[in-house]
Structure 1
């Protein structure tokens, strides 16, 4: 077993070594980030984490300690690495780790971290533990739109694969459908679009009676994979 603090230091050193000249400032501006940036491409961050975890033998406590250690320094790539540790360790996590996820989502303040935490960590936990629906209900009414966005994106991977609970997603999406926040409108459309890959009729039947309430952004995303006839019917209903 590797000490989480030592492992975090090794990950940090490797991330620094892989910084790309000029990328840090560009990325920081693009994400409107207040964090320090090393300028490491996302695939390289994932590769660094994958190598670091190979043979490390982390249990749940070690994994969450490593996440906390990486996250404690306000550097974007360290926090992105922390997110990747959670993704890699999601099988070890349970409902008791949701407060940690909530804190990280609140502190992320960017889609680049929130979307992975919601889709690839929170989502699988909700699929495994239906008792977490109560948490989603609370989050769906939260003043922080990143928390509300996470409720929607927690359904993304399962629905994209042809499973998941579309009725539950639909209930949350219906309650947020008239919000003006870009990231909420985009998330609703994104989940509908990816659900329609395998179940276009399901998405069509849901969005058609709500077309007049949905934003243009949501509609544009939702109809991308529908048939031309379905698309025309939704657009006409607006």
Structure 2
């Protein structure tokens, strides 16, 4: 693969589908300072994934993702290029190695929006951790990181194990206690999402974790956590929420 050529092709095809009205609307919705082309996600995904239809090498995949991520227009990163970078990493995540967690950290630290972080957290970082359990030690550091989006990544990365049927209950509990007092909406929501997904498979654990913390857990977290619990359990827990 000629990485520069593929990145240029992807950008050209995205720009050929540019919709300035959509770009402005998306920019406002995301409160974004990036340059926006205005391409719907399904179309963007189709263009991006065409570059990795034939499995690239790990080195080619990483180089393509970094090249796309670093694209700028008038000094600003390009939203669709960053989304394309994430799409190729998600599609070929099986090629990534434990050392690539450093790349994911760089991308998360470059991000300032859930639209990039959430995909990276679950489908790239989470997938790496599921395949390489020792990498969970990285999440232990991230959950205490000063940067809110890194903390959110640590929590959401646990979703991969939950969905795979092998939840890391110890870390879910510990991270939950570490983040339970957060004022950031996106952290509260992340904790709630993990508890919500876990409750689909282990409602007893979720109820047992939430109940002694109902005086501390935020309403945002609790609403998500009890969404799939048995009605009588959800009713018992809800009135005590803040």
Task: Give the alignment's TM-score, normalised by structure 2.
Answer: 0.94
Does residue 212 in structure 1 map to residue 211 in structure 2? no
What is residue 205 of structure 2 aligned with on the other side?
202
What is residue 63 of structure 1 aligned with on the other side?
61
What is residue 176 of structure 2 aligned with on the other side?
173
SS of the residue corresponding to residue 141 of structure 1 reads: coil
The structural deviation recorded for 1:135 is 0.9
Write out per-residue CA displacement over residues 117-143 of structure 1, whole angstroms, 9 at most, x where no aligned residue. Answer: 001000011111122122111111100
CA distance in 1 between partners of 2:88 and 2:4 (Å): 14
CA distance in 2 between partners of 1:177 and 1:193 (Å): 15
What is residue 11 of structure 2 aligned with on the other side?
12
CA distance in 1 between partners of 2:163 and 2:182 (Å): 24
What is residue 158 of structure 2 aligned with on the other side?
155
- Contact persistence 1:127–1:164 (CA under 8 A): no
Does residue 131 in structure 1 map to residue 129 in structure 2? no
Does residue 120 in structure 1 map to residue 123 in structure 2? yes
SS of the residue corresponding to residue 146 of structure 2 reads: coil
The structural deviation recorded for 1:201 is 1.5
CA distance in 1 between partners of 2:231 and 2:23 (Å): 42
Structure 1 161/133 Cα, relative in aligned 2: closer, same or farther at 3 Å?
closer
- Contact persistence 1:4–1:66 (CA under 8 A): yes
CA distance in 1 between partners of 2:119 and 2:65 (Å): 14
- Contact persistence 1:160–1:198 (CA under 8 A): no
Moved more, 59-68 or 153-162: 153-162
Q: May I ask how many residue pairs the two structures share in their alignment? A: 236
Write out per-residue CA displacement over residues 18-64 of structure 1, whole angstroms, 9 at most, x where no aligned residue. Answer: 22341000101111111100011112111112222223x41011011
Q: Which runs of 5+ in 1 are unaligned?
A: none
Backbone CA RMSD of aligned residues: 1.2
SS of the residue corresponding to residue 19 of structure 1 reads: coil
Moved over 4 A (4+): none
The structural deviation recorded for 1:161 is 4.1
- Contact persistence 1:160–1:197 (CA under 8 A): no
Does residue 86 in structure 1 map to residue 84 in structure 2? no
- Contact persistence 2:52–2:92 (CA under 8 A): no
- Contact persistence 1:177–1:214 (CA under 8 A): yes
Q: Which runs of 5+ in 2 are unaligned?
A: 72-76
CA distance in 2 between partners of 1:48 and 1:39 (Å): 14
CA distance in 1 between partners of 2:105 and 2:191 (Å): 20
